[in-house]
Amino acid sequence: MGRTSSRRTFVKSLAAGGVVAGMGVWRQPVWAVAHPHQTGDQGVLAGTQFDLTIDSLGVNFSGRERTAMAINGSIPGPLLRWREGDTVTLRVHNRLPQDTSIHWHGILLPANMDGVPGFSFAGIAPDGMYEYRFRVKQSGTYWYHSHSAFQEQLGVYGPLVIDPLEPEPFEYERDYVVMLTDWTDEGPARVLDKLKKQSDYYNRGRRTLGDFINDVADQGWSETVGNRWAWAKMKMTPTDLADISGETYTYLLNGQAPDGNWTGVIEPGERVRLRLINGSAMTYFDFRIPGLKLRVVAVDGQNVEPVEVDELRLAVAETVDVIVTPDGGQDAYTLFAQSMDRSGFARGTLAVRQGLSAPVPEPDARPELSMEDMGHGDHGAHAAGNDQQAMQHEAPQHGQMDHGQMDHSQMQSSSMGGMDHSAMGHGGGAVASGQMQTHPASEKGNPLVDMQTMMPVPKLNDPGIGLRDNGRRVLTYADLRSTFPDPDGREPTRTIELHLTGHMERFAWSFDGIPYAKSEPIRLKYGERVRFVLVNDTMMHHPIHLHGLWSDLEDEHGRFQVRKHTIDMPPGSKRSYRVTADALGRWAYHCHMLMHMDLGMFREVRVEE
């Protein structure tokens, strides 16, 4: 399957290697990041004054003409270049027939500049304009995107680079942005409609009778039947790694399909900084450059102690800066980013001149989830048969429950934003391993919750599904250490625990079994230091993003480890991080899988006096 799938993805093409726009073919920019406030490359805007226009755009990413949405006539939008300490003004003009918006992902700014309709402002009406103006308080690699409907999936996104005031603690001679995204010709609304009717619609890796026969030969009849029964009880499949696959997605690197072969020109022996950005709607990418080591120097715009790896996983919305040093042994190197479910890949090239390419690897074998991945440890096969103790599945009473009439007054600890454990001995913050997990009352008997993890663990040193023992050194969260100590230094005064919940068959997503429409805000007092604990009760990854405030990830012992704006939550994991409520206002808090967010894995965080 891997060979067929990768070939199908590889032959998808951009028309003439570009995007059709206006008077013919528009060629994607190279996005070499030159010196601050220079705009030598097409598609780079630098300075303090910016005009951005969002409009429809004709595209052809797969051999079929479609209508997308674009910023300044390009997908991705222009690379914006700011400087720390400057005040920037961005006038965003709407030429669409519907409202739009721009959110500056990971950027610290006043709440009314955050770009979330309904929270920050009303949105930008057709033929309207909104002026964003704020002081830049940070530096590093970030991105920006629409926060309106499915516009992010349709092309409204772009990269953002902020130059620091102080010299960086690493050196390089060349600088490129590498933005990874996904595109579907079907349109996101049609894709979501299919997922609501059949959640595994795009999973072409479902297990077959042949797989069963092979498993019996390898593992024996009893173990194979027990494993199948366990998954059947959960109404899930171990091959369900991604909601949307290469069956409909074309994976793009800087706006180019795989055979478009985006190319960054390099000189042998020079150090090249690659600013990796996962700007996709629903795809996790595993990135590597065969023949080169990746020296990780920053994540989510924040410098980290350098660590050298062969490969890394980029959750949706994360950014990772790496430095590579082609030693002159090859004229070309392949930038290879395979989707987590191995159904396809994005691809580009670093080469000494345009027109060169290097061999493109076949995607790895499709991985399968295990009961241990689901947070059921070695007891998974037995626990799966016990609905009361292990997980809330489709028990008979679920079909009789009218969710619209659920009494949420009995769910205060959850619907009010999460269980507050400030008085429950959680002050130390360590996420213990090997302990049975408790769950909020709002998950019990809930038709929107089809499973619960029994024994979640932090998994900070786990490379992840499909990356373990693959012969390559893979980056983990345990490898990441900020180059600075805890910026706040105070111990949190309370703990808020939230569970990431879902129902795979219904394709429903929520926090604590309560979708956003039925939730209450999470209220923080201005200036307080709070510990958030997340428990992933689902079988899917969820990248959790808190607007306006930093998320300071802790290790298993509750010690500050690394500052991020997006926290990846693998299946069956439990992770904690500290938040300083230092920005007043209403802030979005959500899973960055676009359709998970749209269907309810979303909360409001209010920072109040």
Q: Quick check: is 38 in a domain?
A: yes
User: What per-residue string of b and e applies to 385-399 under the rule 16 or more CB within 10 Å gives b?
Assistant: eebeebbbbbeeebe
Q: Tell which of 155, 170, 185 closes a domain.
A: 170
Q: Quick check: is 128 in a domain?
A: yes
Condensed to tens digits (0 to 9), the pLDDT of residues 514-573 reads: 999 999 999 999 999 999 999 999 999 999 999 999 999 999 999 999 999 999 999 999
CATH of the domain at 111: 2.60.40.420
Q: Quick check: is 358 in a domain?
A: no
Condensed to tens digits (0 to 9), the pLDDT of residues 188-223 reads: 999 999 999 998 888 876 545 454 455 546 666 666
For residue 601, give the amino acid letter: M
Report the SS3 class of residue 483: coil
Q: Quick check: is 53 in a domain?
A: yes
Highest mean pLDDT among 2-16, 388-402, 521-535: 521-535
Rounded Cα gap, residues 537 and 395, in angstroms: 17
Rounded Cα gap, residues 299 and 566, in angstroms: 10
Please report where in the chains the tokens 């390099």 appear, as a residue.
Answer: 266
For residue 132, give the amino acid letter: Y
Q: Tell which of 118, 143, 170 closes a domain.
A: 170
Domain containing residue 130? 2-170
Distances from the Cα of 71 to the Cα of 22, 56, 448, angstroms: 14, 9, 37
Q: Quick check: is 260 in a domain?
A: no
Mean pLDDT of 150-157: 98
Rounded Cα gap, residues 492 and 161, in angstroms: 32
Q: Tell which of 170, 191, 220 closes a domain.
A: 170
User: What per-residue string of b and e applies to 282-304 under the rule 16 or more CB within 10 Å gives b?
Assistant: bbbbbbbbbbbebbbbbbbbbbb
Q: Quick check: is 592 in a domain?
A: yes
Q: Is 250:182 a contact under the CB 8 Å cutoff? A: yes
Q: Is 375:571 a contact under the CB 8 Å cutoff? A: yes
Overall number of domains in the chain: 2
Q: How confident is the model at residue 376 (pLDDT cuts 50, 70, 90)?
A: low
Q: Quick check: is 515 in a domain?
A: yes
Q: Quick check: is 118 in a domain?
A: yes
Mean pLDDT of 389-394: 35
Q: Is 43:31 a contact under the CB 8 Å cutoff? A: yes
Per DSSP (E only), the strands in 227-377 are 249-253, 262-265, 272-278, 285-288, 294-299, 302-309, 311-314, 319-324, 332-339, 345-351
Condensed to tens digits (0 to 9), the pLDDT of residues 481-493 reads: 999 999 999 999 9
Residue 412 φ then ψ, to 5°: -55, -40
